[in-house]
Structure 1
Amino acid sequence: MDTGSSLTWTQCFPCSHCYEQKIYPKYQPAASMTYRDAMCSEDPNPKSNPHLTFDPLTRKCTYQQHYLDESNIKGTLAQEMITVDTLDGGFKRVHGVFFGCNEFSDGSDFTGTGILGLGVGKYSIIGEFGSTFSFCLGLISEPKASHNLILGDGANIQGHPTVINITGGHTMFLLKSIIVGEEITLDDPIQVFVDTGSSMSHLSTDLYYKFVDEFDDLIGRPLSYEPRLCYKADAIERLEDMDIGFAFAGGAELSVNIHNIFLPQGSSGIRCLGILNNKESFTHVIIGVIAMQGYNVGYDLKAKTAYFSKQYCDMEM
């Protein structure tokens, strides 16, 4: 599930260079009665992502998608019937859903079967279900935590609102403060990505060191400042409960208990902050999944508004 990209794709058989896939077999188009190659127009912009190319000889549309971690994929744009569960316990079939039949993957240690792209775009799966969707993420520290994704009319659209700025198919939000126990207002609010495709948050150097300075005052000198801010576990455990996170224009916020955003590193007795210093790796500020633990985020794309609500992720609303 990736709010940072719009293309939904799965690995197809045969595949010349694919990610290792351990649980489910690769999708076989030849075995499906409802699969068909999709038509598309030649994309004149070489920087579009995904970039589409139509071959008039084969009558196929191929795509190439680049991700922020520098991985990339290639394949054939196709359409297929999908079946989804409904909130009343039934199911619904949706015909002609666009997806990428992936034939080449490179540059990542990804081990899943594919990605569900929740960004905005002509070929995004979101358009098949209207203009609303929501997702809820449980706590990483709870092995049996519940999570959910709801597409369409039943989406959980409640909580504190903030405006969505849709740019190039991406949904962006105006960050006005960081939270380290209390809010620290930024001199200049900035547009950021809230990206479920990234585990870590990636911040500009000046924003990263706003967090570092606060932790220096609270805890003292860390074991390391970069690439991650790390402390001995007992230094974190001695702190009183406090929230770490981000506050957006309109009153929406993502704030996670300090004991959940400092993650244990194996059995080494070290805990590291789930936030990285961008440096030159990325050109944008990205807020990742670790900072979304315990939150439901609802999107109303028609109203260009998102809603953030701190809650347990059960299906009773």
Structure 2
Amino acid sequence: MALTLTSPRAVGLLVCVISIILSPSLTNGASKTNSMKPPRMAMALIHPHSIHSPYYNPNATDYDLVERAIDGSIARTRSLSKLVAAPNDYAFRGGVIADNKGVAFLVKLSVGTPPVPQLLIIDTGSNLFWFQCEPCVSCFPQSLPRFDPAKSSSYSNILCNSVACNVSTHECDSNKEYCTYNLKYIDGASTRGNLATENVTFETSDEGTMVIPITKIGCGHENSGSVDGQQSGLLGLSYNYYYSFIQQVGLKFSICLGDVHDPQYPYNQLVLGDDAVLEGKSTTLDLYGGHYYVNLQGISVGETRLKIDPGAFKRAPSGEGGVVLDSGTGLTWLKGDGYVPLQNEVQRLLDPRLRRVKYGRKIELLCYAGTMGKDLQGFPVVTFHFENGAELILDINSMFFQVTPAMFCMTVVQSDLTLRGLSLIGVLAQQYHNIGYDIQGKQLFIQRIDCRYLDQQSAFP
């Protein structure tokens, strides 16, 4: 399968509008019914810089988008550094809301009866599904109208003395009538409101709709943190027994990303529940502190296996270290013991014929003068080796990005010391793969594939 370089808009892709694919077994109703098995819900991921995106900015250059993605990755790791600094403090922590710099996905769905469209950040490090609600005590700007529960016939606040409240937050409003939540995110963002039950509406691939009742959802009346004016809340894909979205729709999901360099690539997809695509080799998945950890055992550049102690990537009993797959960052951040051998091998291959240049920004990137299409021809693939033989394969479009017309840099950087040995595998490293999460089975499946071939029935022309 040939994978071709297109444009440095690659890095800027990382804010997308996602539409969800769910197993028919999860359905509660459908506007277009069928006595046989309902159709699989499948909708395209919309690249934010394609003309179909509601956030398309025709004035943004390719290199503006690269700068935004780099800044966003830096902000993400700074937020995570505060989390790992106190690894045992998880009370009412929903993970980290990715910022507006080009490092997060947005999911498009509708809530309530009648359905009201929402744009939600998806985050594999958060577990609550919440959105801004009227009446608004304090809210951030969003691109769609705020949800008004008083206008929805299917909305219902969870009662304070109910079992649902007792096994979730144990918090109540001032009148001790309704169950509430209060999430304070590591990056300073926050949301506070009512826990409720509400219907969520998804469009299906045959132009019908499917309604799913979510039994614990957050209706936020006091919210802060967003500055981009786009999202209206967050869809957490992490697991928490008490109120996570994943717990309610099934303990499986998969994300397939194709060529993120191509704004018009229409085959990216997210699948939730029993229809999640769990194919390819699997490796052990460890959920700790609201993040998905994997056992990275080594790295190869071409046929050369780098001399890295496998213990360099292990998570300590205290919670420090380890390797996390992260949906909220573009770059890949490796602990020094793993990064330095990789950097040395890349320099060994490129230094003899290319001039190294400094990036001069907030982080130190390994950069060279030149263009990827011309100067990286023949560069070997880089392989991340995981426990039990699963592999993540990075070609030149995953390992490098064109920062300016005359300079390209490596997408892998050294973790900041404040991350306490934590390594993050970002979205650029995950492109051209389908990643399947089986939470109950504690397995992560990795399949290298062009997403257009993942499921021909859900592919778009």
Q: What's the TM-score once normalised by structure 1's chain length?
A: 0.84
Q: Match for residue 48 of structure 1?
A: none
* Residue 294 of structure 1, CA deviation: 0.8
Cα contact 2:324–2:425 (8 A) shared by 1: yes
* Residue 66 of structure 1, CA deviation: 1.6
Q: Aligned equivalents of 2:370 and 2:156: distance in 1?
A: 53
* Residue 281 of structure 1, CA deviation: 4.2
Q: Match for residue 308 of structure 2?
A: 186
How far does the alpha carbon of each residue in 1:22-53 deviate from its partner, in whole angstroms, 9 at most, with x for none? 3x22323232222233353498xxxxxxx874
Q: Match for residue 73 of structure 1?
A: 190
Q: What's the TM-score once normalised by structure 2's chain length?
A: 0.60
Equivalent runs, 1:170-249 vs 2, <5 Å: 170-182=291-303, 183-184=305-306, 186-187=308-309, 188=311, 189-190=313-314, 191-220=322-351, 222-224=356-358, 226-234=363-371, 237-239=374-376, 240-249=378-387
Q: Match for residue 181 of structure 2?
A: 62
Q: Match for residue 8 of structure 1?
A: 129
Q: 1:316 to 1:271 in 2, by over 3 A?
A: same
Is 1:119 the counterpart of 2:238? The answer is: yes
Between stretches 194-203 and 267-276, larger displacement belongs to 267-276
Equivalent runs, 1:9-88 vs 2, <5 Å: 9-15=130-136, 17-22=138-143, 24-38=144-158, 39=160, 40-41=165-166, 53-55=171-173, 57-58=175-176, 59-67=178-186, 70-76=187-193, 77-85=195-203
Is 1:138 the counterpart of 2:276? The answer is: no
Structure 2 counterpart of 1:206, one-letter code: D
Between stretches 109-118 and 188-197, larger displacement belongs to 109-118
Identity of aligned residues (%): 31
Q: What secondary structure does 2:456 align onto?
A: coil
How far does the alpha carbon of each residue in 1:226-270 deviate from its partner, in whole angstroms, 9 at most, with x for none? 4322222336742214223522101112222113431222x5422
Is 1:254 the counterpart of 2:392? The answer is: yes
Q: Aligned equivalents of 1:37 and 1:211: distance in 2?
A: 52
Q: Match for residue 68 of structure 2?
A: none
* Residue 123 of structure 1, CA deviation: 1.4
Cα contact 1:17–1:106 (8 A) shared by 2: no
Q: Match for residue 456 of structure 2?
A: 316
Q: Aligned equivalents of 2:153 and 2:219: distance in 1?
A: 15
Match of 1:270 among 375, 398, 407: 407
* Residue 98 of structure 1, CA deviation: 2.4
Q: Match for residue 46 of structure 1?
A: none
Q: What secondary structure does 2:279 align onto?
A: coil
Q: Aligned equivalents of 2:261 and 2:372: distance in 1?
A: 18
Cα contact 1:236–1:259 (8 A) shared by 2: no
How far does the alpha carbon of each residue in 1:142-176 deviate from its partner, in whole angstroms, 9 at most, with x for none? 22222111111211111011011122343211010
Cα contact 1:4–1:194 (8 A) shared by 2: no
Q: What secondary structure does 2:213 align onto?
A: strand
Unaligned runs of 5+ in 2: 1-121, 315-321
Between stretches 198-207 and 8-17, larger displacement belongs to 8-17
Q: Match for residue 168 of structure 1?
A: 289
Q: 1:163 to 1:53 in 2, by over 3 A?
A: same
Cα contact 2:390–2:446 (8 A) shared by 1: yes
Cα contact 2:308–2:341 (8 A) shared by 1: no
Q: Aligned equivalents of 2:170 and 2:405: distance in 1?
A: 46
Q: 1:96 to 1:54 in 2, by over 3 A?
A: same
Cα contact 2:249–2:273 (8 A) shared by 1: yes
Is 1:299 the counterpart of 2:437? The answer is: yes
Q: Which has the higher strand share?
A: 1
Match of 1:93 among 191, 194, 211: 211
Q: 1:52 to 1:8 in 2, by over 3 A?
A: farther
Larger-Rg structure = 2
Cα contact 1:139–1:260 (8 A) shared by 2: no
* Residue 285 of structure 1, CA deviation: 1.5
Let me know the Cα RMSD of the aligned residues. 2.8
Q: Match for residue 104 of structure 1?
A: 223
Q: Aligned equivalents of 1:32 and 1:137: distance in 2?
A: 35
Q: Which has the higher helix share?
A: 2
